[in-house]
Structure 1
Amino acid sequence: MSRYADRARELGAFLRERRNRLTPTQAGLPDVPRRTPGLRREEVAELAGLSVGYYTRLEQGHAHHPSASVLDALARTLRLTEDESRHLNALTDPTVTSAAAEQRISRSASRLLDLFAPPTAVVVLGRTGDVLGWNRSATLLFPGRLPPPGERPGPSANNARYIFTDPSARDLFADWPEVADDAVAHLRSAAGHLVDDPTVRTLVEELTAASPDFAARWSRRDVRERVTGDKNLNHPTLGPLTIGYDVTALLDAPNQWLIVYSFPPAAADHMRHLLTDA
């Protein structure tokens, strides 16, 4: 099956998932009893200004190159978020390439890692969630996940693999279900449209087989990128604490992200002592 056929099929699955989530009230339609949740294909087609036959072909994966105006109409009709709209367009963009060539840390990220003063923890993620770079603070923040900088990371360095297959992640994250939701939604946003890419396919197949929690979340096709927020940890050394994080896309490598973790004052002091003793 061609790359475009694979993506057309995934586009159809994404449209079906969003159609089934949208209530008649949200779409401005009469709220009458229905046998199944969501809107009917006929209703989506009418609201988007498309023929029922064409919209049906989209959902069945038989329309490979919908126009920008069609995608815009579908995004409005299905009430897609900004992240979901980008994903919709990425599924039909023939210029989007595979993830395989993006596994080396960018030059700007390498330089930025050295600019953050301890105890700030910094991690650089690639498109599929592989950790491409990190500092000593990150090694202490995620014990067992990351070796000292300069050493080769193990399989758990991958963000989704760590969260879903490493038992220590469930102990570390006090709000593990929320962290798991965000990890899958980000992976789908960053790489879920690359259905033909062997790196993405292998990772998804591995995690689907290894973790029912991952499989359930991946099937929902949530698409979301969080750029700032907090994480609640039960750290084995620092104890219970809340850390802040900020995510920045790197301009010289658009599919790499710099994640900066900041600590409250007491935890920051403790981290400085740990770094001094390490």
Structure 2
Amino acid sequence: MSRYAGRSRELGAFLRERRNRLAPAAAGLPDTPRRTPGLRREEVAELTGLSVGYYIRLEQGHARHPSYGVLDALARTLDLTEDETRHLKALGGQREAPSAPATERVSRSALRLMSLFAPPTAVVVLGRTGDVLAWNRSATRLFPGRLPEPGERPGPGSNNARYIFQDPSARTLFSNWPEVADDTVAHLRSAAGHLVDDPAVRALVDELLETCPEFATRWARRDVRERVSGDKHLDHPQLGRITIGYEVTALLDEPHQWLVVYSVPAELLHAPMSKS
């Protein structure tokens, strides 16, 4: 059996994790000493307006298809972020996504957009599990050893999560690797909430849980976050220490694909780089 729980069980686990994280004072309750951190199930049920029995069934994965109103009330009670609320509603079946195909076809609009970016801007297209489906030559140079020349067949390490957790060069390249690792898992958890029954997602998560303790620790936190822009700090083997910005855009013609654009500093356009 897969170690990645089904939708109802994952919903219950997510509720338990967030209930245990919420301080009583943040929920308007007396901050008195407790044996365990967080709120009690009875308190969450009362604050949400649910029966204790029904809430317990939710946490146990036995109450399927909770209503939008129930999920919305739980999100408010547990003080969830927007990303966490979307994740909760996806697990509750309120945002069912189209079934993902076994083989992903690269978004045609993404390929057209890629042609508009000139060097040194690096561009990649990520699939639903974080596989790099398309990229330009600048991306090959920006992430040495990860991607071959455009048009060649990428290896398993082109997958975003595998690269971060299984490729030792990623720990050297990203000077803030722990933060990058946190974001990688939080994004995968967010995507997986919409694709709980996808075999490719299950296989990737199971593989990383088995082989990467640092992934397993982060996965157990059930953090959910969708970073659409920010900076990455690199210790690049040819360019030295640089900071690059990135922007992530969802692609409407292919669900669960993203176009990621990395803004490399203009002064590096003519910087010498080795052929390694």
TM score, norm. by length of structure 2: 0.94
Q: Which residue type is aligned with residue 30 of structure 2?
A: P
User: Where in structure 2 are the equivalents of 1:128-277 lying within 5 Å?
Assistant: 128-270=129-271, 274=273
Instruction: Specify the alignment match of 1:37 in structure 2.
Output: 37
Q: Distance in 1 between matches of 2:101 and 2:188?
A: 15
- Superposition RMSD on alpha carbons, in Å? 1.8
Distance 1:197 1:240, change over 3 A: same
The one-letter amino acid paired with 1:134 is W
Q: How does 1:11-160 map to 2 (within 5 A)?
A: 11-93=11-93, 95-101=96-102, 103-160=104-161
Partners of 1:36 and 1:221 lie apart in 2 by 19
CA contact (8 A) 2:16 2:59 kept: yes
Q: CA deviation at 1:210?
A: 1.2
Deviation (angstroms), 1:102? 6.3
Structure 1 residue ranges without an equivalent (≥5): none
In the TM superposition, what is the alpha-carbon distance from 1:209 to its structure 2 partner?
1.2
CA contact (8 A) 1:122 1:258 kept: yes
Query: What is the rounded CA distance, in whole Å, between the counterparts of 1:265 and 1:195 in structure 2?
Result: 41
Task: Return the alpha-carbon distance in structure 1 between the equivalents of residues 20 and 61 of structure 2.
Answer: 17
Letter of the 1:243 counterpart: I
Q: Give me the whole-angstrom Cα distance separating, in 1, the residues matched to 2:48 and 2:97.
A: 26
Whether the aligned pair in 1 keeps the contact of 2:131 and 2:158 (CA below 8 Å) is yes
User: What's the % identity of the aligned pairs?
Assistant: 75
**Cα distance in 1 for residues equivalent to 2:227 and 2:149:** 27
> Which moves more between the two structures, 197-206 or 92-101?
92-101
Residue 192 of structure 1: how far off its partner (Å): 3.7
Distance, in Å, in 2 between the alignment partners of 1:242 and 1:99 is 35
C-alpha deviation, 1:127, in angstroms: 1.2
Which is worse superposed, 40-49 or 99-108? 99-108
* Separation in structure 1 between the aligned mates of residue 106 and residue 237 of structure 2, nearest angstrom: 29
Query: Aligned equivalents of 1:241 and 1:109: distance in 2?
Result: 26
Verify the 8 A CA contact 2:124 2:132 in the aligned structure 1: yes
CA distance in 2, matches of 1:49, 1:193: 27
State the secondary structure of the residue aligned to 1:260: strand
**Stretch of structure 1 that moved more, 54-63 or 193-202:** 193-202
Distance in 1 of aligned mates of 2:240 and 2:181 = 21
For 1:119, give the aligned amino acid.
P
1:120, CA displacement in angstroms?
A: 0.2
SS of 1:230's equivalent? strand
Q: Which digits, 9 at most, give the CA deviation of each residue in 1:115-148, with x for residues without a partner?
A: 1011100011111101011000000001110011
Q: Under a length normalisation based on structure 1, what TM-score does the superposition of the two structures give?
A: 0.93
Alpha-carbon deviation of 1:60?
0.3
